[in-house]
C-alpha cells in the first residue's frame, strides 16, 4: 500500500473503520480487495439460509449502509476510496452469489468472476469508478461488478440446466 493507503490505527479502535476495512481484512498489505472478497465468502452460506427475498433485502440494506459507511470512513481518513476500505467488495461478492446454488465450486467461480469484473472494470464500471465520488462512488463500481458477475453466473447455471 502507498502511504496514503496505509492501514490507519483507527481500524482497531473505531467500529465504523473496522467494518469498512472488512473486519480488518483490508489492513493486509497486498491485495486488500482480494482479501475482503475472500472474507465475504465466509458469510455466503449464512445468507443462503435466508429465503431469496431475505437475501435480497440484506443486499439492499448492506448496499445502502455501505454508501454511508464508505463515505464516512473515507472522509474520516481524508482519502477517497482508501485501498483498505473493502466493505464494497464484501457486498459485491454477496451480490454475485445471490440465488446461486450452495457448494464450494459456486463460491469459487463467483469469487473469480467478481474479482475479474472488479479488476478489469468493463464499461460502465470504469467510468463510474473515475467519475462518481463519495460513498456512492466507492460502492457503485463494486455493486456493478457484482451484478456483472451475477449475470455471468446465472447464464452458466442456465446453460447447465
pLDDT confidence tier of residue 105, bands split at 50, 70 and 90: very high
Per residue in 114-126, pLDDT (tens digit) is 999 999 999 999 9
Per residue in 12-22, pLDDT (tens digit) is 999 999 999 99
- Residue 1: what pLDDT? 44
Residue 4 reports pLDDT greater than 90: no
Please count the CA atoms within 13 angstroms of the CA of 135 that sit on its side-chain side: 16
pLDDT confidence tier of residue 2, bands split at 50, 70 and 90: very low
Per residue in 82-104, pLDDT (tens digit) is 999 999 999 999 999 999 999 99
Per residue in 21-30, pLDDT (tens digit) is 999 999 998 9
- Please list, in sequence order, all residues whose beta carbon lies within 8 angstroms of the beta carbon of residue 107, skipping any fewer than 6 positions away: 41, 44, 97
Residue 89 · residue 97 · CB < 8 Å: no
Nearest to 4 by CA among 88, 86, 78: 78
Nine cell digits for residue 11 = 481500524
Cα(98)–Cα(101) distance, rounded to whole angstroms?
9
Nearest to 20 by CA among 57, 58, 72: 72
Amino acid at each position: 500500500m502507498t502511504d496514503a493507503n496505509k492501514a490507519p490505527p483507527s481500524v482497531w479502535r473505531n467500529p465504523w473503520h473496522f467494518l469498512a476495512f472488512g473486519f480488518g481484512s483490508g489492513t493486509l498489505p497486498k491485495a486488500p480487495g482480494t482479501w475482503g472478497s475472500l472474507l465475504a465468502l465466509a458469510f455466503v452460506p449464512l445468507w443462503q439460509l435466508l429465503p431469496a427475498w431475505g437475501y435480497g433485502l440484506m443486499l439492499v440494506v448492506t448496499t445502502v449502509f455501505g454508501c454511508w459507511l464508505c463515505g464516512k470512513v473515507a472522509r474520516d481518513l481524508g482519502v477517497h476510496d482508501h485501498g483498505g476500505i473493502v466493505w464494497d467488495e464484501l457486498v459485491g461478492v454477496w451480490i454475485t452469489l445471490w440465488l446461486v446454488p450452495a457448494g464450494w465450486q459456486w463460491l469459487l467461480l463467483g469469487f473469480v468472476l467478481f474479482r475479474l469484473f472488479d479488476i478489469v472494470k468493463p464499461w460502465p464500471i470504469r467510468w463510474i469508478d473515475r467519475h462518481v465520488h463519495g460513498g456512492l462512488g466507492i460502492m457503485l463500481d463494486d455493486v456493478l461488478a457484482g451484478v456483472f458477475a451475477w449475470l455471468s453466473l446465472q447464464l452458466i447455471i442456465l446453460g447447465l440446466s
